[in-house]
Amino acid sequence: MWIKPELVSPSALWTTEQCNEWFYLEKRRGHGGDIGLPGALLKSMDSFMTNILPWRILYAVDELDSRYQIAAGWDEGEIRSRWEFLEKE
């Protein structure tokens, strides 16, 4: 889903799946596939603290790592459709 842009900092808790000149598609560590012990702990922590959506798209404003989260989603298919829209435009 598209969300109101929110300034975020790059974090080791997220992995970049794809990127281009302006946007980053990121996945939260600990969600999906073989997550290992650190990922399992992170996923457990996420479930207790808040409902953190495991996928997001960031807009890169400049070279100083200023990034705004503009989309988030529960599943890969949802966020990939947003990513494809951005790549077409």
Q: Is the pLDDT of residue 85 over 90?
A: yes
The one-character DSSP state at 29 is T
Query: pTM of the prediction?
Result: 0.78
Kindly report, residue by residue over 20-67, the tens digit of the pLDDT: 999 999 998 875 655 566 656 655 565 556 667 889 999 998 777 789
Domain boundaries, the chain: 2-88
Per-residue pLDDT averaged across 3-30, rounded? 90
Residue 15 structure tokens: 């992995």
pLDDT at position 28: 86
Distances 45 to 26, 31, 41 between C-alpha atoms, Å = 19, 12, 6
